[in-house]
Amino acid sequence: MHALPEFIGEPITPDAGSADISAMSRGEPGLPRSFTWRDKHFEVARTISKWKSSTRDRGELYLRKHWFEVELSDGSRITIYCDRQTKNRNKPKARWWLYSRAIGSRVREGEAPAEP
């Protein structure tokens, strides 16, 4: 049974040097292996699925986002995405976003991860 998603919609800060270099060599964004969100550090344990979304503008197809459903090292699941174009010109590096997390994940706001 899948847990329902909780919408987050907030930026994450990838750790320096944690990007997937092999994806970048293919012209895709390098999924960070670790990142910070709300002053807490998280590590990606595995990628569950990935997909892309695009839009059409005047007949042209534009790739907009790369999506990743991942499992974190604490066992929780989240969906993050990389924006191909930054929304805020004042923050050009704000491309990675935490879209949602599974409700019932072990890590909740203000709690420590559950022991295995």
Q: Which two tokens stand for residue 14?
A: 């990838």
For residue range 56-75, what is the model confidence (pLDDT) as tens digits?
A: 778 877 778 899 999 999 99
SS3 47: strand
For residue 82, give every residue at least 6 positions away whose Cβ sits within 8 Å of its Cβ, in sequence order, or none.
Answer: 29, 31, 65, 66, 95, 96, 97
State the Cα–Cα distance between residues 54 and 61, nearest whole angstrom. Answer: 7
Residue ranges of the chain whose pLDDT lies below 70: 1-3, 25, 85-94, 104-116
pTM of the model: 0.74
